[in-house]
Structure 1
Amino acid sequence: MTVCAIETAAEDDGAMWPTRFTITANGAYAARLAGVGDALYAERWTLDGPEPYAVPLPLDQPEEPSARLLPLADGRVLIERRVDGHRHTFSLLYPTGPGTGELSLGAVEAEELTLLPPSPDGICAYAMCVGRDTTTLWLVAGGAFGPERVAEVRGRCSGGVWLDRTGRILALDRRLDGGPVKAVTVDLERGGEVTPLLQITEESTDRLLMADPDSGLLLIRSDAPSPGHERLGWGVLGSLLPVRFPECLRLDDAAVTPFAVQPGQVLMPESCAVALRIDAAAGSRVGVWRPSGRRMHHLAAPAGWPAGAGFWTPQGVLRLPFATDEVRCGLADLEVPADPEPTPPQPVVCRPVPLQQAPLTDRKAAG
């Protein structure tokens, strides 16, 4: 499953989503801060059973709204708390009898710290600390001795997309020496070796939003087609074909952001269904698009959906979590319209440098 952590605020329709909703890479578990007002607590959702259910994980003291949660594949939930300004502590929460167990993992001192999306291995959790000229990656769960520094990358990085199923190759969006943002890969098993991943033009801002390891499909945001205005495009990892920017993904009155890619489409990137969050003045809705199609389908989301959260099954079912006053833990399956028979695509593209295969260990490192 290709999923990501989503930051949302409380929405209409009786929804109660005070903060982020995060789903594991395999779609088995999710975690969020639940509760109302100052009485916040961690809550774990189980999504891979016959019916979804939630397990509260409260402690003696309520959690701060700034706390960040990340579920692991074994059902435990990592929580990151900011204390004393620049100190970030990490613990694992888990149900134990009638209460909640907590295993302290240690702390990291940093002014800016971001939890990266759940690792595909389901065991490890990583954080990114951005400094003035360098970005440091930390293994904050899954190591032997608490938080461990695993890589230091020149430049200021953002984003975070996993490119493999083992949690070894991470793509980051990097700004180096005040230049444009470019996506690079970081090999966590080679001391953080950095390799260029995406450069459409020398001056363009080229960000990687999502990737599917099965098919190689990449979702990209770049201003290469129209400098100063970023557009959503797609490419294939390792392909010599240019990045394409479909007109159907460009909406004048709404922001479009991918949040899930259908897995299991081995070597068939054009067949992958992509779920998109469409944010307009009237609220958020769901878009579904395939590279082989020429249109984006617009679908209504269930009431209480934390906009931008969800995952695909390998069978092509889009599943969206929701919670209302009546249903505190729900999972809705969306019926996705079929595309008409595809015609040979004739995309309008700029003239880019092709996507670069990653990792290539014999290429000169860019870090």
Structure 2
Amino acid sequence: MTVCAIEAAAEDRAEDDVVGSSGFTISADGAYAARLAGDGEALFPERWTLDGPEPYAVPLPLGQPEERDAEVLPFVDGRVLIRRRVAGRHAFSLLYPTGPQTGELSLGGIESAELTMLPPSPDGVSAYALTPGHASTGVWLVAGGSFGPEHVAEVPGRCSGGVWLDGTGRMLSLDQQLDGGPVKAVAVDLERGGEVSPLLQITEDSDDRLLLADLDSGLLLVRSNAPGHDRLGWGVLGSLLPVRFPDCLRLADCAVTPFAVQPGQVLMPENCAVALRIDGAAGSWLGVWRPSGRRLHQLPAPEGWLAGAGLWSREGVLRLPYATSAAPCGVALVDGPEDVCAPNVITQPSQVACKPVPLQQAPLTGRTSPG
């Protein structure tokens, strides 16, 4: 699954902040999650089941402990993908419980100096990764194909981020940088060999990154330095209105990172509740906000919160996973905010009167060649 709005005092943390930075990843349908659990060097994959009456965890240990830089990603069928670095090679396997043991199916590997896993694909059974280089970035289907990892696209420039733009795993947003220029969010069509089209450009010279996209409402959360320094803003997919940068999301000496958007608000992006991780000198805590309100609600995080992880129900209840010695697998419930809607919030001008490029104006043909 880049991702935060950062004030000047915390700018050096911008490139390191990612959604789900706790290493806790939730499947596309919200039914499962996975993380590396354990103490010290005795680490093992652990799968959480979230769609039952109570959450529970299933350990998936193998013959030896995992390295701390291993990554895990759950599928909707309960299997867990693990990426391991082995002598400069990135190896992938599928893990699953088999009675008291853990089954493992090797999928092969990729030789690359760098590799970044993308958020779970919306189809629930595929996983993708980026191999960024100086001149271009490879997009790999690392699970869900026919013959192990498959190279599916080569996108010009150095790309990062990764936000899915549809429900099938075809359209992907990446943050693209060409020849040392500004970073711009672009749409990549994986069914057309990686054809690229513009997605977000607030000003010609600004760095404009897409952080999250909600497919039901069209709500977009972006990070841009168009206002003069990095700010968190919001817009609507396909809208002609400019991106807005609410003052309430600007916190001195803190990093504000959105990690979950309330689904089910069809055609009502301003009503979506957004969950944000706030990092400051005092630690990490929770922020909850709606575009229709003018207030960021700051709340204490539950003890043991796997910071940056969580998901909304359609009814507006935020579910935050946590793990403590007394409760190694728990989910805390937080109700969405009750805001008084700001008048004319949808038509207020932003601080930067420039428009994003709507996705609907980027047709599936006539795009930049991937090569």
**Is the TM value for this pair above 0.5?**
yes
C-alpha displacement of 1:356: 2.3
- Find out whether 1:168 has 2:182 as its counterpart: no
Equivalent residue, structure 2, for 1:37:
40
CA deviation vs aligned residue, 1:180-221 (integer Å, no higher than 9, x gap): 000001111111111110011110000001000111110000
- Taking structure 1 as reference, are residues 327 and 49 closer, same or farther at Cα in structure 2, changes over 3 Å only? same
> What is residue 236 of structure 2 aligned with on the other side?
236
Q: Which runs of 5+ in 1 are unaligned?
A: 9-19
Equivalent residue in structure 1 for 2:150, among 148, 151, 155 = 148
What aligned pairs does 1:64-79 form with structure 2 within 5 A after superposition? 64-79=67-82
| 1:189 alignment partner, SS class | helix
* 1:363 CA drift (Å): 4.1
Task: Supply the AA of the counterpart residue of 1:7.
Answer: S
Give the corresponding residue for 1:121: 123
Alignment of 1:69-108 (within 5 A): 69-84=72-87, 86-108=88-110
**Residue identity matched to 2:133:** G
User: 1:351 Cα shift?
Assistant: 2.0
Instruction: Give the residue type in structure 2 aligned to 1:175.
Output: Q
Q: Is the 8 A contact 1:245 1:347 kept in 2?
A: no
Q: Secondary structure at the match of 1:90?
A: strand
Structure 2: which amino acid aligns with 1:51? E
Q: What secondary structure does 2:270 align onto?
A: helix
Query: Are the equivalent residues in 1 in contact too, given 2:189–2:364 (CA < 8 A)?
Result: no
Structure-to-structure mapping, 1:201-216, within 5 angstroms: 201-216=203-218
3-state SS of 2:137 partner: strand
RMSD: 1.4
Deviation for aligned residue 1:347: 4.5
CA shift digits 1:143-190 (9 cap, x unpaired): 011100000001000000001111111100010111100000111111
Q: Quick check: 2:242–2:349 contact (8 Å CA) kept in 1?
A: no
Aligned match of 2:249: 249
Tell me the CA shift for residue 340 of structure 1: 1.4
- Secondary structure, aligned partner of 1:248: helix
| Equivalent residue, structure 2, for 1:12 | none
Q: Which residue of structure 1 aligns with residue 355 of structure 2?
A: 353
CA contact (8 A) 2:316 2:335 kept: no
Partner residue, 1:266: 266
Instruction: Indicate if the aligned counterparts of 1:236 and 1:355 stay in contact, CA closer than 8 A.
Output: no
TM-superposed CA distance for 1:38, in Å, is 1.1
Q: Is the 8 A contact 1:124 1:139 kept in 2?
A: yes
* Cα shift readout 1:347-367 (whole Å, capped 9, x = no counterpart): 542121333215512444264
Q: 1:224 is matched with which residue?
A: 226
1:181 matched to 2:183? The reply is: yes
Q: Distance in 2 between matches of 1:311 and 1:336?
A: 12
State the alpha-carbon separation in 2 of the partners of residues 136 and 337 from structure 1: 41
CA distance in 2, matches of 1:341, 1:82: 49
Deviations for 1:20-46, whole angstroms, at most 9, x for unmatched residues? 111112211110001111111000000
- Quick one: distance in 2 between partners of 1:146 and 1:210? 29
**1-side partners of 2:61 and 2:140: how far apart?**
27
1:110-155: CA deviations, max 9, x gaps? 0000110011110100010011211000001000111000000010
Q: Is the 8 A contact 1:319 1:332 kept in 2?
A: yes
Give per-residue Cα distances to partners, 1:241-300, cap 9 Å, x unaligned.
101001111111311110000001111111111001111110111111111111111111
Paired residue type of 2:20: I
Q: Which residue does 1:332 correspond to in 2?
A: 332
Unaligned runs of 5+ in 2: 4-17
Aligned to 2:310: 310
Question: Structure 1 residue 6 and structure 2 residue 14: aligned?
Answer: no
Letter of the structure 2 residue corresponding to residue 334 of structure 1: V
- Provide the C-alpha distance between the structure 2 equivalents of 1:356 and 1:304, rounded to a whole number of angstroms: 40
Give SS of 2:191's match. Answer: coil
With structure 1 as the length reference, what TM-score do the two structures score? 0.93
> Residues 330-361 of structure 1, C-alpha deviation per residue, up to 9 Å, x if partnerless?
00101233001432223542121333215512
- Confirm or deny: 8 A CA contact 2:34 2:45 kept in the other structure: yes
Q: Does 1:46 align with 2:60?
A: no
Aligned residues: 351
Mapped to 2, the partners of 1:341 and 1:74 lie a distance apart of: 40
Structure 1 distance, partners of 2:165, 2:369, is 18
TM-score normalised by length of structure 2: 0.92
**CA pair 335-24 structure 1, distance change in 2 beyond 3 A:** same
Return the match for 1:132 from 127, 131, 134.
134
SS at match of 1:288: strand
Aligned to 1:344: 344
> Which amino acid letter does the alignment assign opposite residue 35 of structure 1?
G
Higher helix share: 2
More moved, 331-340 vs 271-280: 331-340
Structure 1 stretch displaced more, 104-113 or 332-341? 332-341
Q: Distance in 2 between matches of 1:75 and 1:184?
A: 32
* Residues in 1 aligned to 2:304 and 2:369: alpha-carbon distance in whole angstroms: 44
Q: Is the 8 A contact 1:44 1:71 kept in 2?
A: yes
Q: Measure, in 2, the Cα distance between the counterparts of 1:218 and 1:311.
A: 16
Runs of 4+ in 1 over 3 A off after TM superposition: none
Aligned-residue offset at 1:223: 0.6
Determine helix, strand or coil for the equivalent of 2:185.
strand
Cα pair 1:5 1:23 within 8 Å, conserved: no
